[in-house]
């Protein structure tokens, strides 16, 4: 099991426990324990698929759970067959995977599995749109920490599968000095000095809202500077002033309608909270095909 799935496992287990509770009443009452079935996952909209590995993990965890709690077992082992790779673009109507095994397990885990693949595919699809919008520039599309609570590992995986890159994972792996930190610390210089005094070697990014703050941050030789809510014209000025000395990131008020203009300024990174905080899910369904 790779590192992502190891990190994802507790969240998937929690999602199953949350949904199943004391038992899937409908399935337990209508489907015999020994009934076997096959089904398919269908992309009903075009987009970039992400999360098939989580679908397989979801079903495998439920099968293991059932096997440990039941002396009767669950019949044939669960089998999952992806027909496309995570990160692959598909047209509407594409069968992206199939599954076979216990009908009870296939139906009980259906919603949890779909919740993960639909959300992750929605994020990957939107990310791909942003990445394509900045083709021909050097700008890299980044995510933010505006993720669903408890689902950050999934959200950030989906951004990568959509062709974007991850910003810091949390508050611990990079220091990002924002406006409130600047106000509370007594200025950019004081905030940066405090970080360097406590965390040797930690990457530091400073958020600036005007060119005066940019000049102050540049003098401190930080690792990256975030240009907050600046117009493309202001970003262009910042790029000229910086002259490649420090990588620049643009953020705030950036959507598909203006991301190309922002990228054309020569900025190095563009972070977009909308990739994860309010993305529409991709429509993926699960259809039971054969019951033996």
Q: Please tell me whether residues 160 and 268 are part of one structural domain.
A: yes
Q: Please tell me whether residues 63 and 170 are part of one structural domain.
A: no
CATH of residue 273: 3.20.20.70
Q: Please tell me whether residues 198 and 93 are part of one structural domain.
A: no
Q: Please tell me whether residues 112 and 140 are part of one structural domain.
A: no
For helices 211-219 and 188-198, angle between their N-to-C axes, nearest 10 degrees: 30
Q: Please tell me whether residues 114 and 15 are part of one structural domain.
A: yes
Task: Give me the active site residues, please.
Answer: 111, 146, 178, 207, 228
CA 266 to CA 229: how far, in whole Å?
Answer: 16
Q: Please tell me whether residues 21 and 154 are part of one structural domain.
A: no
This prediction's pTM: 0.95
CA distances from 121 to 33, 69, 183 (A): 32, 33, 39
Q: Please tell me whether residues 53 and 173 are part of one structural domain.
A: no
Count of other CB atoms within 10 angstroms of residue 134: 19
Q: Please tell me whether residues 101 and 198 are part of one structural domain.
A: no
CA 225 to CA 243: how far, in whole Å?
Answer: 13
Question: Could you give the number of structural domains in the chain?
Answer: 2
Q: Please tell me whether residues 213 and 103 are part of one structural domain.
A: no
Question: What domain range includes position 9?
Answer: 3-123+280-291
Tens of each residue's pLDDT in the chain, 292 residues: 799 999 999 999 999 999 999 999 999 999 999 999 999 999 999 999 999 999 999 999 999 888 777 655 545 688 999 999 999 999 999 999 999 999 999 999 999 999 999 999 999 999 999 999 999 999 999 999 999 999 999 999 999 999 999 999 999 999 999 999 999 999 999 999 999 999 999 999 999 999 999 999 999 999 999 999 999 999 999 999 999 999 999 999 999 999 999 999 999 999 999 999 999 999 999 999 766 5
């Amino acid at each position: 099991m790779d590192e992502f799935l190891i990190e994802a496992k507790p969240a998937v287990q929690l999602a199953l426990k949350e949904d199943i509770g004391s038992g899937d009443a409908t399935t337990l009452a209508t489907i015999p324990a020994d009934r076997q079935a096959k089904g398919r996952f269908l992309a009903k909209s075009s987009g970039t698929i992400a999360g098939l590995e989580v679908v397989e993990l979801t079903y495998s965890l439920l099968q293991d759970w059932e096997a440990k709690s039941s002396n009767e077992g669950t019949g044939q082992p669960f089998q999952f067959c992806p027909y496309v790779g995570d990160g692959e673009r598909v047209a509407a109507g594409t069968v992206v995977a199939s599954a076979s095994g216990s009908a009870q397990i296939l139906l009980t885990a259906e919603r949890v599995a779909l919740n993960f693949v639909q959300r992750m595919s929605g994020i990957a699809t939107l990310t791909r749109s942003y990445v394509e919008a900045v083709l021909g520039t050097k700008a890299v599309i980044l995510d933010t920490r505006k993720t669903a609570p408890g689902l950050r590992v999934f959200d950030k995986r989906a951004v990568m599968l959509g062709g974007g890159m991850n910003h810091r994972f949390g508050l611990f792996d990079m220091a990002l000095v924002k406006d409130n930190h600047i106000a509370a610390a007594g200025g950019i210089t004081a905030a940066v000095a405090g970080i360097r005094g406590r965390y040797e070697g930690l990457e530091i990014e400073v958020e600036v809202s005007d060119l005066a703050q940019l000049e102050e941050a540049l003098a401190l030789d930080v690792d990256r500077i975030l240009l907050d809510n600046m117009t493309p014209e202001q970003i262009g000025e910042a790029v000229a002033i910086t002259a490649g000395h420090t990588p620049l990131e643009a953020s705030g008020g950036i959507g598909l309608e203006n991301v190309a203009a922002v990228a054309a300024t020569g900025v190095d990174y563009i972070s977009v909270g909308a990739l994860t905080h309010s993305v529409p899910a991709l429509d993926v369904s699960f259809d039971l095909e054969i019951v033996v």
